[in-house]
Structure 1
Amino acid sequence: MAVEDYGRIGNDPVQAVTLVNGPLRARLITYGARLTELHVPDREGRTADIVLGHDTLAEYEASKAFFGATAGRYANRIRRGRFHLDGRDHQLDVNEGPNHLHGGRAGFDRANWRLDEATETRAVLSLISPDGDMGYPGACHAVTTYELADERTFRITMTASASAPTPVNIVHHSYFNLAGQGDVLGQELRLDAPFYTPVDAELLATGEILSVAGTPFDFTTPKPIGRDFAALGAVGEGVFDSGGGYDHNWVLAGAGEAMRLCAEARDPASGRRMRLLTNQPGVQLYTGGYLNEQVIGKGGRPLQRFAGFTLETQVFPGSPNHAHFPSSILRPRQTYDHRMEFDFSAD
């Protein structure tokens, strides 16, 4: 275990922590409780860093891509930043046109979390979001734990408690590229998800829940991530300068809170394989269609469209305004419990 200085925000030091277990190595920083590196071996035992990111704190502060961040208090989008709860209307910060995205302009990704524990294989970070933060009711105490549980297992746990009823949907926002660089269009993905939630031109959930069968959203059997892009149309072009690819939520199979398979991804060239289990009801697959060469990645390399994909396990987008979606409301004396487990292998 190594804890290092990573820079400062004003007088507040930002720390970096490196975790190691066998061939797996992860690096995270307290700014945004953010994963900045994840080194995983291929079929020949050669390791590569499989998450996108930057080299410096200043780049992370300037970035709008949420690379590796813990995003909240409510990640994903809420229409016009408004919701009604227990007889009261609430207005959140709006930071994507007229809508609320990933907790607002000063969401959890923009906070410097406290490092509470660091060992060779585990790090625990915490944050207190005060009452009224970005318009949210109640104070919220959030904890993110990163752990290399063994030589092939990476666990992320996000928990929270609140002093008043409030929407909570904290997500991990790494962009994965199992080859380490290039685009991810030929990497194969399977989602254990028979349904998805469509979005409108503003990328807001419409409230529908539709079958993936016979659509480009069908990942129930493995396929290259980019195979059906042409059938999707210009996803996101109403919000961003460029678009395309996926930026949608899938409805995972299996009811309740038990850990279950969410996704399996594989890079045919390196043989790296990643299995993801979660206890959440949905997963957001975003394939990096809004990235471009103006975004500078690690080593000073310009990125490209489709340079990585996210698997953000979550409640469904816009849940505070869709009563038939799984509830995102956390009440006092309840505990928000969001678990992700990544299993890595190579073939």
Structure 2
Amino acid sequence: MSTEFTLGAGGYTAVVTARAAALRVLQFEGRDLIVPFPEGGPIPDYRGIIAAPWPNRIADGRYSFDDVDHQLPVNERERATALHGLAFPLDWVLKESDAGSLTLTCTVGPSAGYPFTLELLARFALDDAGLHTSVTARNTGSETAPYGVCPHPYLVAGSSPLDQWVLDLAADSFLEVTPDRLLPLGLQSVEGHAFDFRQARALGSTEIDHAFTGLAFDGGLARLAVRDPAGTGVGMSWDESCPWLQIHTADKPAPIPSRIGLAVEPMTCPPDAFNSGTDLIRLDPGAEHTVSWSIYAL
């Protein structure tokens, strides 16, 4: 089986890996639109993966669903959480492809802490308007399953430092989190806060690793743009299935390269939704859920 797949159309090139259905490369006319990672090695910082059947983290890996308690493996040990689902360690299987499109599939579960079975199908398609991705989850088991999903690209506006990039994000509120474990505390308005990017402005030194909501959907789509002062930029749009958006400025302690891209993750539910129940999808046996997003050059 091929370990990765290359697509091309409309001046765009995309490379998707079988492992995690991760977007390894996305370029427009040779310019990186995401932070890439090397071929054949591990996927650093979950770059480009499909995070399912939950996005972000679950506190202590524990949750209760329909009055049954579950314990997931804790893979983010420094914060004692279960992070980014169960699909990312898996090798997805090619279902169909051509020069400009690709469909991969995998089966999640049943496994420790998630005694449910989902078939996931990810479709990637390139055209003149960019890369369009959709993920469909189908419950192939006999019990209703909790579900959430998000992509995990790190966008690149251009060659200038991230602090100089200008972010345009129409979001009214953000989820305040604990500083040590990044677990939800409550919603806060962006009004008067460093996280208010409703009027486009430079990121500056602001450190962000938070979920935003109160998103503006125009014609069924929410949009984010990040621009380099040199004139290049990258945009992302997503449908109303994702009322949440995680933003992360990729801050790292020295000597690790820091702030090399802006993680932009449209989410169907907020962090720790398996416990809060907020916007958590209940996927009945035989039912399907589809979400879609696009990334494009500006």
TM-score by length of 1: 0.78
What amino acid does structure 1 have at the position aligned with 2:7? L
Matched, 1:56 2:44: no
Query: In structure 1, how many angstroms separate the alpha carbons of the residues matched to 2:136 and 2:27?
Result: 25
**1:96/1:275 Cα in 2 relative to 1: closer, same or farther (>3 Å)?**
closer
Matched, 1:186 2:164: yes
Matched, 1:329 2:291: no
What is the number of residues matched between the two proteins?
Answer: 291
Q: Matched residue of 1:320: which SS?
A: helix
The match for 1:159 is: 136
Query: In structure 2, how many angstroms separate the alpha carbons of the residues matched to 1:281 and 1:101?
Result: 20
Query: In structure 2, how many angstroms separate the alpha carbons of the residues matched to 1:71 and 1:14?
Result: 21
Matched, 1:283 2:245: yes
Shift of 1:117: 1.0
What amino acid does structure 2 have at the position aligned with 1:194? D
**1:49/1:273 Cα in 2 relative to 1: closer, same or farther (>3 Å)?**
closer
What amino acid does structure 2 have at the position aligned with 1:333? G
Q: Matched residue of 1:158: which SS?
A: strand
What amino acid does structure 1 have at the position aligned with 2:128? E
- Deviation string for 1:290-323 (max 9, x for gaps)? 37554xxxxxxxxx21001111100111112224
Matched, 1:146 2:99: no
Q: 8 Å contact 2:171–2:212 — kept in the other structure?
A: yes
Q: Matched residue of 2:162: which SS?
A: coil
Query: In structure 1, how many angstroms separate the alpha carbons of the residues matched to 2:251 and 2:245?
Result: 17
What amino acid does structure 1 have at the position aligned with 2:272? G
**1:339/1:31 Cα in 2 relative to 1: closer, same or farther (>3 Å)?**
same
- Deviation string for 1:217-239 (max 9, x for gaps)? 11111111235x2xxxxxxxxxx
Q: CA RMSD in A?
A: 2.1
Matched, 1:89 2:69: yes
Shift of 1:331: 2.3
Q: 8 Å contact 2:147–2:280 — kept in the other structure?
A: no
| Residue number among 14, 19, 28 corresponding to 2:16 in the alignment | 28
Query: In structure 2, how many angstroms separate the alpha carbons of the residues matched to 1:223 and 1:310?
Result: 17
Shift of 1:129: 1.4
| Residue number among 43, 53, 67 corresponding to 1:73 in the alignment | 53
The match for 2:82 is: 100
Shift of 1:213: 0.4
Matched, 1:249 2:211: yes
Q: Matched residue of 2:88: which SS?
A: helix
Shift of 1:80: 1.2
Q: 8 Å contact 1:157–1:337 — kept in the other structure?
A: yes
Shift of 1:334: 2.3
Query: In structure 1, how many angstroms separate the alpha carbons of the residues matched to 2:136 and 2:184?
Result: 25
- Deviation string for 1:222-260 (max 9, x for gaps)? 111235x2xxxxxxxxxxxxxxx11100004358x9731
| Residue number among 211, 217, 222 corresponding to 1:261 in the alignment | 222
What amino acid does structure 1 have at the position aligned with 2:237? L
TM-score by length of 2: 0.90
- Deviation string for 1:117-145 (max 9, x for gaps)? 1111110000011212x421211111111
Q: Which has the higher strand share?
A: 2
What amino acid does structure 2 have at the position aligned with 1:22? G
Matched, 1:177 2:130: no
Instruction: Please list every run of at least 4 consecutive aligned residues from structure 1 whose deviation after the TM superposition is greater than 3 angstroms.
Output: 291-294
Query: In structure 1, how many angstroms separate the alpha carbons of the residues matched to 2:148 and 2:252?
Result: 23
Q: 8 Å contact 2:65–2:146 — kept in the other structure?
A: no
What amino acid does structure 2 have at the position aligned with 1:286? H
Q: Matched residue of 1:110: which SS?
A: coil
**1:56/1:21 Cα in 2 relative to 1: closer, same or farther (>3 Å)?**
closer
The match for 1:129 is: 108
Shift of 1:14: 4.1
